[in-house]
Amino acid sequence: MADKMDGEVPDVIRVGSRKSELALIQTNAVIERLQKINPDQKFEVITMETIGDTIQDKPLSSIGITSLFTKELEKELAADKIDMIVHSLKDLPAVLPDGMIITTVCKRDDPHDALVLSAKHSGRTLETLPPGSVVGTSSVRRIAQLKRKCPHLEFKDVRGNLNTRLRKLDTGTDYACLILAVAGLHRMAWEHRISQILKPDICMYSPCQGAMAVETKSSNKQLIQFLSKLHDPSTLLQCVCERALLKTLEGGCSAPVACHSLVTDSEIKFTGAAFSLDGSECVEETQSVDLLEDAFLKQEQAKPDDDSFKGYSSIVAPHLSHKAMLAAENLGSQVARVMLKNGADKILEAAKKEIEERRK
């Protein structure tokens, strides 16, 4: 019998979400998938504005709060005003507040970045844009990599939600193009605006880009049991590994850190990279780890009192192989340690200082 600690799945699960169109699309998509697992389960969506939504005039990296989009929602979660939050996993910091855990990692959308052009430049690619063309992005990760590969381009901050950004591109003259995550464009049904998908040799993606996740309190094991049925095993292993990279590098979600990961039945192959803000320096490391045959499914029902509820990179998956998750976590931190030894420590320290300077 479940004791009080284990909690219960509430009759109506209250889902916290940011108010932006993308956030609501993601929240509803996750609810829809949960509803397929249990058609009788009821959900209520509760929306709120976060600091990241209200500050629209400064680049994210210059505001200097790691949990920009998550703090207010997490407060509501801690106070039991809501039961779960749907996030873009890439917006969650590597270390969650005490008592919070990631219980669901949905099948990853295309994790790459995309080029979105203004009508004037239709038909071009990053390589064929005229010299001096202005790329709209506030991501230090994107800017550093593109400065390396496309030195003919210039960069300018662009803020606001996806709708605002596209409007700025289409109605203003400031930008020749934007760089946006394919996943966000896809969810907003704007795939037709994608002119080029940036492969890793041009621009590696942000840890956990393209994956939606659910955050809950770590105490309600019945709720965790239910939500974790939605885990996509392959995405889960990638994200455990990618979050371990971030954590060991101590790079927040606004650090110039990028990665690439590939999971097959037999191995995870993982690349991590850190860049100086001007793109002149880069430390990159690739390693693989063999997955044992039992990599994915543990199959048997998790018991609330064993260590099935242990988190890897703050992700808990009671039904899946802990050996595989541990291997993924170790791979991410090992790649990070080699990077630190090879100079990523100095590069990231300098980037952090520079970002702090800009804030003044």
For the four alpha carbons of 339, 323, 297 and 243, in that order, the dihedral sign comes to: negative
The verdict on 183 binding ligand DPM (CB under 6 A) reads: yes
Active site residue 91: yes
For the four alpha carbons of 181, 182, 183 and 189, in that order, the dihedral sign comes to: positive
What are the structure tokens assigned to 15, written together? 């889902």
Site string for ligand DPM, 74-113 (x = CB under 6 A): --------------x-xx----------------------
Instruction: Give residue 87's identity as a one-letter amino acid code.
Output: H
Q: Which residue has the tokens 């009821």?
A: 42
The verdict on 271 binding ligand DPM (CB under 6 A) reads: no
Closer CB to ligand DPM, 90 or 124, in the complex: 90
The verdict on 177 binding ligand DPM (CB under 6 A) reads: no
Site string for ligand DPM, 298-327 (x = CB under 6 A): ------------------------------
Closer CB to ligand DPM, 46 or 188, in the complex: 188
Question: Which of 16, 93, 184, 233 forms a contact with ligand DPM (CB under 6 A)?
Answer: 184
Site string for ligand DPM, 22-61 (x = CB under 6 A): --------------------------------------x-
Q: Closest approach of Cβ 337 to ligand DPM, in Å?
A: 22
Per DSSP, 14 falls in state E
Cβ(231)–Cβ(105) below 8 Å = yes
Site string for ligand DPM, 236-265 (x = CB under 6 A): -----------------xx-----------
Question: Which of 77, 180, 328, 344 forms a contact with ligand DPM (CB under 6 A)?
Answer: 180
Closer CB to ligand DPM, 233 or 252, in the complex: 252
The verdict on 147 binding ligand DPM (CB under 6 A) reads: no
Instruction: Please give the Cα distance from 317 to 99 (Å, whole number).
Output: 16
Rg of the Cα atoms in the chain: 20
Residue 127's SS3 state is coil
**Beta strand spans in the chain (E):** 12-18, 42-48, 84-88, 100-105, 113-117, 134-136, 154-156, 177-181, 194-198, 212-217, 257-263, 267-275, 282-290, 311-312, 315-316
Instruction: Please give the Cα distance from 295 to 10 (Å, whole number).
Output: 32
Catalytic residue among 40, 53, 91, 170: 91
Q: Closest approach of Cβ 137 to ligand DPM, in Å?
A: 5
Q: Closest approach of Cβ 182 to ligand DPM, in Å?
A: 8
Per DSSP, 204 falls in state P
| Residue 171 CB contacts under 8 Å (≥ 6 apart), including other chains | none
Catalytic positions, please?
A: 91
User: Which chain residues interact with ligand DPM by CB under 6 A?
Assistant: 60, 88, 90-91, 137-139, 141-142, 180-181, 183-184, 206, 209-210, 253-254
